[in-house]
Structure formats: C-alpha cells, structure tokens
Amino acid sequence: MRKFDTKVQHLKYKVLREVARQAWSDTLLKNVLEIPKIIVPGNTPTMRCCVYKERAILEERVKLAMGGKDDDENIIQVIDIACDECPVGGYEVTNACRGCLAHRCEDVCKRGALSFDENHVAHIDKSKCVECGACAKVCPYTAIVSRKRPCQNACKIKAISMDENKAAKIDDEKCISCGACVYQCPFGAITDKSYILKVVDLLKKSLADKDYKLYAVVAPSISSQFTYAKLGQVITGLKELGFHTVIEAALGADMVAQAESKELAEKEFLTSSCCPAFVAYIEKNFPDLVQFVSHNPSPMTAISKYIKDTDKNAKIVFIGPCTAKKAEAKKEEVKKYVDAVLTFEELQALFDSRDIDITSLEEGVLDNASYYGRIFARSGGLADAVAEGLKEQGLDKDFTLKAVSCDGIEQCRIALLKKSKNLLDANFIEGMACSGGCIGGAGCLTHGEKNKLDVDKYGKEALEKTIADAVSVLK
C-alpha cells in the first residue's frame, strides 16, 4: 500500500507518527530522546554513513515535528547536519568538451573565466564566473552544463543560497513558504515546521468535552490524496480521531468566488488572494501591485470565520496540501479563526498514531460545496469559478473576464512583471505558487497528473451545481 511519492516523505511521516503517538499517551517528554532509536534501531545504518549521524538528523526532525524554535518564524527550515551531500553546483565543463578550435565559450565570456589546458580542454574559474550561462549557450557540444542543487532549482524565487559550510541557507526576506524545496530535496534536509502536537491537544480536549467542538476544514485537494481508501472513509476517520464535524474548504471557495467576481467587476482588475504563497510573493517582490490583490480572504479563512461566527465554541483545524497555509494561519487577521494547520502528510501520521485503518471504516458524507468551489484545487479552477460567479450574478453583461491562470510561481512572476509594465493582456490573475495548483502542494502525499482528474471527478459529484446554491445554505 503506497502512500507517498518518496522515501523522504515516508521518513518524515515516521517521525511525525511517533511524535504524535507519544503525545497521545502523554509520554513524549519522557521518551523524546528515544524516538530516533525507535525509528533507526540496531547498529546498521540504512541512510547515512553511520547510525549516529542518522539519529542526530532524526533528533532535529523530531524538534521540527514538535514545532521547532519559537524564535525562528519561517515555516520552512534547513536541517544543517542533513545538508552535506549535494555538489556545490554552478557551471561545469563535462567530458563532452572536444577541445575544439572555435573557442566560442572563451570569446563570449566577458569575465575571462574560461581557459584551456595543455589538452585544449576548457576549464571554468569559479572565482570569476558569474553564472550568466553565455558559455553554455554557444558550446556546439553542449559540454558546459549548469549543476544546481535540487533545492536551488526548485526555488524559482531564488530564496536559497549556500552558507560558509556549503549547507542550504534560506533568505527569510524572500521565502514565501511554498515548500517546493521541501518536496524536491532528495535528502530531506529541508522541511516544514509541524503543529501536530497542538492538533493532538485539541483532539484530546474535543474527546474529553462534548461542548468543545473541533471542526476539520478540509481542502478540496483531499479528493486526490489517500488513494488507497475512499474519500468517505477519510471523513469517517477524521471523526474517529475526535473531530466534531468535517467541513469543505471548497464551501469557502464558493464564498470567495462569489465575492471576488463582484469585486473584480467593480475594480476591473484583480489578482486572486487564495494562495498565501502567491500573495506573499506579490508583497515581497511587487509591492506596487499589492493594491490589486483581492480584499477577500482565502477560502480557508472565509469558511473558518463563518464557522466561528456561527458557533462560539468552535475550534478549527485546516487540513490541506499547503505549507504556506501554516504561515497564513499566523497572521493577525487569520489566527483568530484558524487554530492550527495540518498537511495531508501529517494527517496520515495522525491516523496511524491512533492505529486507525481508514480502509475498514464506513463511508461518511462530505457535501457542502459546489463543483466550482471544489475545482479551486487545480490550476485554472479559480478562474473558472470567478467566470461562473460573474455569470450567476449577471455581471458578465457589462464586464468581460479575461483571465490568465498562472501554473506555478514562475508563471506568476511573468504575469506580474507584465502587469507592472502595463503589458498584461488580462484583467484577472489567478496565482498558484505550486505547479498544478493546490494538488502540487508540498504537503501532499502524492503528486501527478492523475490528481487533476481526481479533483475534476470530485467536483462533478457535488450536489450543489451552482455557487449560489452552495452559498445559500449559509444564509
């Protein structure tokens, strides 16, 4: 039964599961130092040079699973001791260099970083190279290649560099907490803080006090996860954990789509506000465009606010694919509505920490949202929902939507750059920091094209066929 894309994810899960298991039994403080030995028993290493290094790394993983350092605000953290296996990177000359006579690489280099040895083979002086890539472009043998670390290659906003020890270093001023580096690091040396202990505490209180109502707000991308079970079984599993009620964040998406389409028609240009990593990217890199970000909250915040306004005893845990949601939940305007955030990875660990086999459970029902709210989970879905919102409210008669759906932060950068130069032929930017949309989030169990198909299928199963029908139940 495969639950994860990679063994790195599985290792992360094992740490989270054990931390949660100890927390449930109130033995965490007593046994916290034993967790690395539980995960790596015996004296034979399985991942690193020796079991001592493996356990030292696991100790750091345990700390992050327990919430990490309070004085480090960034959700995304580097485990320094685990980050020592990648090559330094930069442009390198491979053995494909034929020692040609043209020397185009040397001629194009304005820094004089290219030279040739006695065998006429090219070499790059790293002290002079500025990594412009000009030499690689002109080499007729493609013998010059750029070797970037996986984390640096994953981080399209260039928030990752190397410190004096050649370990990855995150620039907090640039980082948007998207978690792309977390998923792509082959050694799991970069990971996200977990608030699983807070959720266990909330669940304990919910189980002990019937008046203490803990709501699980689940992202629509859940439909593409837990592929070994049925979605209805996952819903029942959440209630087995101690959640009072399970609500679709997609209902919040319906609320946002309705309000955002109205705002767009009034202002005539908007960017979406649903993806916290995208919003953070605008704030940090395009401050002049912040004025165009929709004033509507994210679906997570919208539905959480509604629940708390309706039920004064409510506590809310958002469960989804997104590490950036953890950062969003810390904002002053959000934290009063959202008590904790879990990823799908962490939810799997929670199930197994309580030995809940969701495949053996009856199917529960999840039916709060419309088709349009549910397809927010994939790239293009938000724009489709806004188009529907305009249509349902009769706003499309006087306003014509021209949307650009940005699939990944690089496409977001291009669209925002065009807008900043008044070259964008669109009046609405749907910004999704992760490739594929929310289904590509770092906290997903699995990633792939099939996830998009699963989300579309899930959307078509919605009983509420219009946004207005879904939102009407809230009135």
> What is the reported pLDDT for 2?
61
Q: Do the two domains 7-85+150-192 and 90-147 of this chain adopt the same fold?
A: yes
Beta bridge partners of 245: 215
DSSP labels for 283-311? Answer: HHH-GGGGGGB-SSPPHHHHHHHHHHHH-
Q: How crowded is residue 269: how many other Cβ atoms within 10 Å of its Cβ?
A: 15
Distance between CA atoms of residues 176 and 408, nearest Å: 13
Token pair in block for residue 20: 């949660």
Domain spans, the chain? 7-85+150-192, 90-147, 196-472
Q: Are 58 and 36 in contact (CB under 8 A)?
A: yes
Give the model's pLDDT for residue 276. 96
Nearest CA to 190 among 85, 284, 279? 85
Provide the whole-model pTM: 0.90
Using alpha carbons, select from 464, 5, 44 the residue that is nearest to residue 224. 5
3-state SS, residue 90:
strand
> Exposed, middle or buried by CB within 10 Å (0-12, 13-18, 19+), for 145?
middle
Q: Which CATH class is domain 7-85+150-192?
A: alpha beta
Which overall architecture, per CATH, does domain 90-147 show? Answer: 2-Layer Sandwich (3.30)
The structure tokens 């009072």 sit at 244
CA distance 154 to 4: 19
H or E element in which residue 332 lies:
helix 332-335
Contacts of 26 (CB under 8 A, 6+ apart): none
pLDDT by residue for the chain (475 residues), tens digit each? 568 899 999 999 999 999 999 999 999 999 999 999 999 998 888 888 889 999 999 999 999 999 988 778 899 999 999 987 677 678 999 999 999 999 999 999 999 999 999 999 999 998 899 889 999 999 999 999 988 889 998 999 999 988 877 789 999 999 999 999 999 999 999 999 999 999 999 999 988 887 789 999 999 999 999 999 999 999 999 999 999 999 999 999 999 999 999 999 999 999 999 999 999 999 999 999 999 999 999 999 999 999 999 998 899 999 999 999 999 999 999 999 999 999 999 999 999 999 999 999 999 988 889 999 999 999 999 999 999 999 999 999 999 999 999 999 999 999 999 999 999 999 999 999 999 999 999 999 998 888 899 999 999 999 888 999 999 877 6
d(CA 358, CA 237): 6
Predicted local distance difference test score (pLDDT) of residue 1: 53
User: How crowded is residue 233: how many other Cβ atoms within 10 Å of its Cβ?
Assistant: 21
What gap in Å lies between CA 98 and CA 220, rounded to an integer? 54
pLDDT at 45: 82
DSSP 124: E
**Which residue type occupies 453?**
L
Query: CA–CA separation, 77 vs 91, rounded Å?
Result: 27
